[in-house]
Amino acid sequence: MNKFIGYGLGLRTVHYQHVLEHRPDVDWFEVHSENFMVAGGKPKYNLHAIREHYPLVLHGVSMSIGSTDPLDFDYLKKLKTLVAEVQPEWISDHFCWTSVGKVNSHDLLPMPYNEEAIQHLVDRISQVQDFMGRQVLFENVSSYLTYKNSEMEEWEFISEIVKRSDCKILLDINNIYVSSRNHGYSPHEFMKHIDPSCVQQFHLAGHEDCGEYVIDTHDHDVPDPVWELYADALKHFGLVSTMIERDDNIPEFVELQAEMNHAKEIAKTVPPQAA
């Protein structure tokens, strides 16, 4: 059974003060690992101050686990140091690649869904989990294109990697919605094929609907179609630790808290033994 730690929010710099002063009723916070891979000063001070009062999970964007460049052990060492400092509930990154030829795109770029990529990811995830001495969560990304050399659906690809590497899934409900619109598949089909015992965390977020396609921007409130999909996800997966991801156009803390509480309310309607 996956550990359930309740409902959380992404911790953003503009909200540090509010969180430290008001100690809002939030079960846990997710922080971006890279923001704290610095030597010292205010970022680390605030992180430790908040950690004194809340559980944390570390979410990274730079592991580049799918890249054909060698694994970046400097990065992994920094991550390991941060893990020792912060003692997070768990750590996560994405099923994607971000850099190649030593150039970093600073974006979560899609993998082709084929056997070569599966084996590549399984090898590297195993190395990372060995190095970190723990299971790592990987998140499904929003994507805007399908490669001609993909041989399977995204959910088959993810399920196979999870089975072979024994990693966990951070399931981003918004990313499923975004990708389903961009590629014309059913988001329910995606979820139906994911083993609930592998899903450790949910992300909820907003996006920009451009009509013909949808862009994952994290700068809007969680929209109705994502709330609906979340309700369906709860029926299939049961209770899963859930957080609201907001990276841009960041509102007052209380607004994010209200969104988080909305997620909590929706979850109350789901029978506990659903999964």
Partner 1 sequence: MFNLSELQHEFMNHLLDKKSVIAKNVMEQNGVPVSTRLGIYGNAYKVRLKSSIENDHEILGIYLGDDLFDLMAAGYTASQPSQFTSLRDFCEYLPEYLRKTEPFSATPIIAEIAEFERNLLFAFDAGNAKRSTIEDLTSLPQEQWPTMKLRFHPSMQIHKTHWNSVPSWQALKAEKIPPQQEKLDAYWLIWRNYNRITEFRSLAMDEYVMLNGFLHGGNFADICELLLEYHTEEEVAVNAITHLTSWLEIGIISTFQ
Q: Which residues bind Fe ion (CB under 5 A)?
A: 172, 203
Looking at beta carbons only, is 2 or 182 nearer to partner 1?
182
Distance CA 127, CA 54 (A): 30
- Interface with partner 1 in residues 136-175 (CB under 8 A): 144-149
Q: Could you tell me which of 36, 173, 223, 117 has the C-alpha nearest to residue 109?
A: 117
Nearest-angstrom CA–CA distance, 47 and 13 = 10
Interface mask (CB under 8 A) for partner 1, residues 216-255, using x and -?
----------------------------------------
Please report how the helices 253-268 and 224-237 are oriented relative to each other, as an axis angle in degrees rounded to 10: 40
**Would you say 248 or 252 has its CB closer to partner 1?**
248
* Position 127 contacts partner 1 (CB under 8 A): no
Nearer to partner 1, 53 or 144 (CB): 144
Nearer to partner 1, 111 or 267 (CB): 111
Is the CB of 235 or the CB of 249 nearer to partner 1? 249
Q: Which is nearer to partner 1, 102 or 268 (CB)?
A: 102
Report residue 189 as tokens: 């089909």
Which of partner 1, Fe ion, none interacts with 49 (beta carbon under 5 to 8 A by kind)? Answer: none
Give the whole-angstrom CA distance, residue 92 versus residue 30: 10
Near partner 1 by CB under 8 A, which window of 82-90, 114-122, 218-226, 229-237? 114-122
Which residues from 93-112 bind partner 1, rule CB under 8 A? 97, 100-107, 109, 111-112
Distances (CA, A) of 15 to 7, 26, 36, 72: 17, 13, 16, 31
Dist. CA 127–CA 33, nearest whole Å: 19
Q: Does 271 bind partner 1 (CB under 8 A)?
A: no
Tokens standing for 149?
Answer: 């050399």
Distance, CA of 47 to CA of 259 (rounded, Å): 23
Q: Do residues 182 and 221 make contact, with C-beta atoms less than 8 angstroms apart?
A: no
Could you give the CA distance from residue 148 to residue 209 in angstroms, rounded to a whole number? Answer: 25
CA atoms of 32 and 9, how far apart (whole Å) = 12
Stretch that binds partner 1, among 42-50, 85-93, 218-226, 264-272 (CB under 8 A): 42-50
d(CA 202, CA 245): 10
Taking CB under 8 A as the criterion, the residue among 70, 184, 271, 272 binding partner 1 is 184
In the complex with Fe ion, the residue whose CB is nearer, 138 or 253, is 138
| Minimum separation from the CB atom of position 150 to partner 1 (A) | 8
Binding site for partner 1 (CB under 8 A): 34, 37-45, 62, 67-68, 72, 74-75, 97, 100-107, 109, 111-112, 116-117, 120, 144-149, 182-184, 212-213, 215
